[in-house]
Chains A and B, each alone.
Chain A
Amino acid sequence: DTEVTQTPKHLVMGMTNKKSLKCEQHMGHRAMYWYKQKAKKPPELMFVYSYEKLSINESVPSRFSPECPNSSLLNLHLHALQPEDSALYLCASSQVIRGGSRAFFGQGTRLTVV
Chain B
Amino acid sequence: GENVEQHPSTLSVQEGDSAVIKCTYSDSASNYFPWYKQELGKRPQLIIDIRSNVGEKKDQRIAVTLNKTAKHFSLHITETQPEDSAVYFCAASIRMTTDSWGKFQFGAGTQVVVTP
Binding site for B on A (CB under 8 A): 31, 40-43, 45, 48, 50-51, 53, 55-56, 90, 94, 96-108
Contact = CB atoms under 8 A, between A and B. Distances in A.
Contacts of B89: 42-43
B103 A48 contact: yes
Contact of A107 (B43, B53, B100): B43
Interface in B67-116: 87, 89, 93, 95, 99-104, 106-109
Interface string B46-80: 10010111000000000000000000000000000
A97 B51 CA distance: 10
A99 B43 CA distance: 24
Contact of B103 (A40, A45, A53, A102): A45
B99 A55 contact: yes
B45 interface: yes
Contact of B31 (A99, A103, A106): A99
Interface of B: 31-34, 36, 42-46, 49, 51-53, 87, 89, 93, 95, 99-104, 106-109
B109 A100 contact: no
12 contacts: A42-B89, A42-B108, A56-B100, A90-B43, A90-B44, A99-B52, A99-B53, A100-B93, A101-B102, A102-B46, A103-B104, A105-B44
Given A42-B108, A99-B31, A100-B95, A31 B52 contact: no
B42 to A, nearest CB: 7
Contacts of B99: 50-51, 53, 55
Contact of B32 (A56, A100, A106): A100
A55 B49 contact: no
A107 B42 contact: yes
Given A100-B31, A103-B46, 18 more contacts: A41-B108, A42-B89, A42-B108, A45-B103, A53-B99, A56-B100, A90-B43, A94-B101, A94-B102, A99-B51, A99-B52, A101-B93, A101-B95, A101-B101, A105-B44, A105-B45, A106-B43, A107-B42
A100 B107 CA distance: 17
A42 B49 contact: no
